[in-house]
Amino acid sequence: MAIPRPAYVGPQCPRCRAALPEERLHDGANVCLSCLGDFEARIFHPPQRSARVLQLAHSGPEGGVSCANHARNAAVAACDRCGLLICSLCQLDVEGGKLCPSCFERLSQEETSDTTRTRFRDYGSLAGIWAIVGLIFSALMLGIPLGILSLYYCAKAFRHRESRSSLGFVIFALLLAILDIFFSTSILSTIFRHK
Amino acid sequence: MNDATKRTRIGRNSNFATRQLVYRTPVGIEIDELDHFEIVRKRVFYDDVLLVTYHRQQSWGFIVLSALVLLLFGILAVVASSVPPLAMTLAAVAAVALILGTMRLLMQVEVVSVFGRRSKAAIHYAYRKAFARRMYNEICANVAAAQRRLASEIAASEPPEERAVEEMPPMPEEGTAEPS
């Protein structure tokens, strides 16, 4: 279970995490007034993106179609997923396409889009853990099923590259899984040979 | 994988409670927090960055852990002094802990923090000091470039301001010219 942390509210002191008012900050060396710790800082003022909303009343003599969510706003696009007509307030540019808020919400819940996805299964760690457990219990012949399970997770880790913690670790887990299977198989063959 | 999802690992931020891997992408910083067998991904986009900081701090957790390992294996080495090979092995482990702890105490940890409007990222560098400084400079340069690009995009998308037309005085009609 993840440890709950206080919500992020904006720039903080990198040492004591006390809130840093912008007026007290400047480019270069700074000192936190809470902990008296020093740090180097570079301040930025990101430009605000403002969506210009075209209202139906100002959309010209031809008139416009109204947005499905905002009756007074003129639609400027159609959602690429459901075809709903949306105004510039509702329009969300995702992976080169235009989505309405409800489709964006659905995509992020289904976690089908790489951009909206925030949770991934760490197949690399799973492969590593099962390979190590398999190696420990390889004398009990568990190296074969656990090695195969580890190989399966290695394949998943190679396929889902975005959910891989480290390539080196996956290769290590792969070698360990092969070793598990080899150990258990050799023990099994030795037992059968002696019988 | 398109350009926006290409990423390179630039560091980590790990302590007793958290394990984070930090990546750089063309559009921002990505933080992969490892929570058991699940990765929770967060992003700080260059467009959104308000502050980038750089400082040096002591990593007390690592130093305390090294001291505990040194103490434990040192005591075990003394206890096992009657068996020289075992005592030497235990002493070697204690020596490694001593070296690592002392190195960390002297060198400290470089921390680069990136604060956005909605999220933040911290990258800890225990040994690669020059790399930490380079990353700080590169992140600052990338943020400045991204925000400049965004500002120019916003400026380009805004309608051109109507220029005030200088009104000319009415031309005098023929025959009505005032006598000079």
Is it the case that residue B160 has pLDDT exceeding 70? no
Query: Are A165 and A187 part of one and the same domain?
Result: yes
Evaluate whether residue A42 is within a structural domain.
yes
Query: Are A41 and A73 part of one and the same domain?
Result: no
Least-confidence region, from A173-177, B137-141, B145-149, B176-180: B176-180
Which parts of chain B fold into alpha helices (H)? 60-79, 84-107, 129-157
Four-point Cα dihedral A121, A124, A125, A129, nearest 10: 120
**Whole-number pLDDT of residue A194:** 80
Distance from CA of B55 to the nearest CA of A (A): 5
Query: Are A190 and A127 part of one and the same domain?
Result: yes
Which chain B residues contact residue A45 at CB under 8 A?
50, 147
Pairing of strands A77-78, A28-31: unpaired
d(CA B174, CA B90): 114
pLDDT digits (tens, 9 = 90+) for B28-52: 999 988 887 888 888 999 998 999 9
Query: Are A60 and A103 part of one and the same domain?
Result: yes
**Whether the Cβ atoms of residue B122 and residue A14 lie closer than 8 Å to each other:** yes
Pairing of strands B19-25, B28-35: antiparallel
Chain A 152-171, residues with CB within 8 Å of chain B CB atoms: 161-163, 165-166
Phi/psi zone of residue A83: left (φ > 0), alpha (ψ -120 to 50 degrees), beta? left
d(CA B136, CA B122): 11
Q: How many domains does chain A have?
A: 3
- The DSSP string of A14-40 is TTT--B--GGG--SEEEE-TTT--EEE
**Whole-number pLDDT of residue B168:** 60
Quote the percentage of chain B above a pLDDT of 90. Answer: 52
Mean pLDDT of chain B: 85
pLDDT digits (tens, 9 = 90+) for A77-132: 889 889 888 888 888 888 778 888 888 888 877 766 666 777 888 888 889 999 99
Query: Are A134 and A190 part of one and the same domain?
Result: yes
Least-confidence region, from B12-26, B134-148, B152-166: B152-166
The domain segmentation of chain B, as residue ranges, is 3-59+114-148, 61-105
The model carries a pTM of 0.75
Is it the case that residue A1 has pLDDT exceeding 70? no
Tell me whether B86 touches chain A (CB under 8 Å): no
Query: Are A35 and A81 part of one and the same domain?
Result: no
Is it the case that residue A56 has pLDDT exceeding 80? no
Q: Kind and range of the H or E element at A36?
A: none
Tell me whether B150 touches chain A (CB under 8 Å): yes
Least-confidence region, from A94-103, A170-179, B158-167: B158-167
Mean pLDDT of chain A: 83
Q: Are A122 and B51 an interchain contact pair (Cβ–Cβ within 8 Å)?
A: no
Q: What is the ipTM for the molecules in this complex?
A: 0.75
Range of the domain at A27: 11-46
Distance from CA of A70 to the nearest CA of B (A): 22
**Whole-number pLDDT of residue B157:** 73
Angle at A86 between CA A85 and CA A87, to 5 degrees: 135
Evaluate whether residue A117 is within a structural domain.
no
Average pLDDT over residues A62-82: 83
**Whole-number pLDDT of residue A93:** 82
**Token output for A173:** 């887990």
Contacts of A160 (CB under 8 A, 6+ apart): A120, A121, A123
**Whether the Cβ atoms of residue A103 and residue A82 lie closer than 8 Å to each other:** yes
pLDDT digits (tens, 9 = 90+) for B73-124: 999 999 988 888 899 999 999 999 999 999 999 989 999 999 998 889 999 9
Query: Are A89 and A67 part of one and the same domain?
Result: yes
Query: Are A147 and A189 part of one and the same domain?
Result: yes
Q: Report the DSSP beta bridge partners of residue A74.
A: A66
d(CA B34, CA B47): 26
